[in-house]
Amino acid sequence: DAGVIQSPRHEVTEMGQEVTLRCKPISGHNSLFWYRQTMMRGLELLIYFNNNVPIDDSGMPEDRFSAKMPNASFSTLKIQPSEPRDSAVYFCASSLAKGVEQFFGPGTRLTVL
Amino acid sequence: SQQGEEDPQALSIQEGENATMNCSYKTSINNLQWYRQNSGRGLVHLILIRSNEREKHSGRLRVTLDTSKKSSSLLITASRAADTASYFCATDESNTGKLIFGQGTTLQVKP
If you average pLDDT over residues B76-98, what whole number do you get?
89
- Whether B88 sits inside 8 A of A43 (CB atoms) is yes
What pLDDT was estimated at residue A17?
97
Higher-pLDDT residue of A14, B92:
A14
B40: pLDDT strictly greater than 90 = no
A46: pLDDT strictly greater than 50 = yes
d(C-alpha B78, C-alpha B76), whole Å: 7
The CB density around residue B20, as the number of other CB atoms within 10 Å, is: 16
CA distance B98 to chain A (A): 6
What pLDDT was estimated at residue B5?
78
pLDDT-above-70 percentage for chain B: 93
Q: For chain A, say whether B68 makes contact (Cβ under 8 Å).
A: no
User: Among candidates B20, B16, B3, which has minimal Cα distance to B74?
Assistant: B20
If you average pLDDT over residues B44-62, what whole number do you get?
96
A99: pLDDT strictly greater than 90 = no
Provide, as residue numbers in chain A, all residues whose Cβ is less than 8 Å from the Cβ of B88.
43
CA distance B89 to chain A (A): 11
- Of B6-10, B71-75, B104-108, the one with minimum mean pLDDT is B6-10
For β-strands A74-79 and A65-71, DSSP reports them as antiparallel
d(C-alpha B101, C-alpha A60), whole Å: 16
Tell me the CB-side half-sphere exposure of residue B28, using CA atoms within 13 A.
4
**Percent of residues in chain B assigned helix, strand, coil, to nearest 5:** 5, 60, 40
B3: pLDDT strictly greater than 60 = no
* pLDDT single digits (tens) B9-21: 999 999 999 999 9
- Sheet of A65-71: strand order equals A5-7, A19-24, A74-79, A65-71
- Residues pairing with A88 in the sheet: A110
The one-character DSSP state at A72 is T
What pLDDT was estimated at residue B2?
40
State the Cα angle at B37 between B87 and A79, rounded to 5°.
Answer: 120
AA identity, residue B39 = S
d(C-alpha B32, C-alpha A19), whole Å: 34
Q: For chain A, say whether B22 makes contact (Cβ under 8 Å).
A: no
Q: For chain B, say whether A48 makes contact (Cβ under 8 Å).
A: yes
What pLDDT was estimated at residue A62?
85
State the Cα angle at A88 between A105 and B44, rounded to 5°.
Answer: 30
* pLDDT single digits (tens) A70-89: 999 999 999 999 999 999 99
Q: How high is the mean pLDDT of chain B?
A: 91
Q: For chain B, say whether A107 makes contact (Cβ under 8 Å).
A: yes
CA dihedral over B25, B29, B31, B36, signed as positive or negative: negative
What pLDDT was estimated at residue A2?
81
If you average pLDDT over residues A19-36, what whole number do you get?
96
d(C-alpha B88, C-alpha B69), whole Å: 19
User: Among candidates B103, B111, B107, which has minimal Cα distance to B38?
Assistant: B107
- Of A4-8, A53-57, B19-23, B95-99, the one with minimum mean pLDDT is B95-99
Provide, as residue numbers in chain A, all residues whose Cβ is less than 8 Å from the Cβ of B30.
99
Q: How high is the mean pLDDT of chain A?
A: 94
- Whether A106 sits inside 8 A of B42 (CB atoms) is yes
Q: For chain A, say whether B111 makes contact (Cβ under 8 Å).
A: no
B1: pLDDT strictly greater than 50 = no
Provide, as residue numbers in chain B, all residues whose Cβ is less than 8 Å from the Cβ of A38.
none
- Whether B42 sits inside 8 A of A104 (CB atoms) is yes
Structural contact between residues A77 and A34, judged by C-beta atoms closer than 8 angstroms: yes
Beta carbon pairs, A and B, within 8 Å: 53
What pLDDT was estimated at residue B31?
93
CB nearest B96 (choices: A35, A56, A101): A56
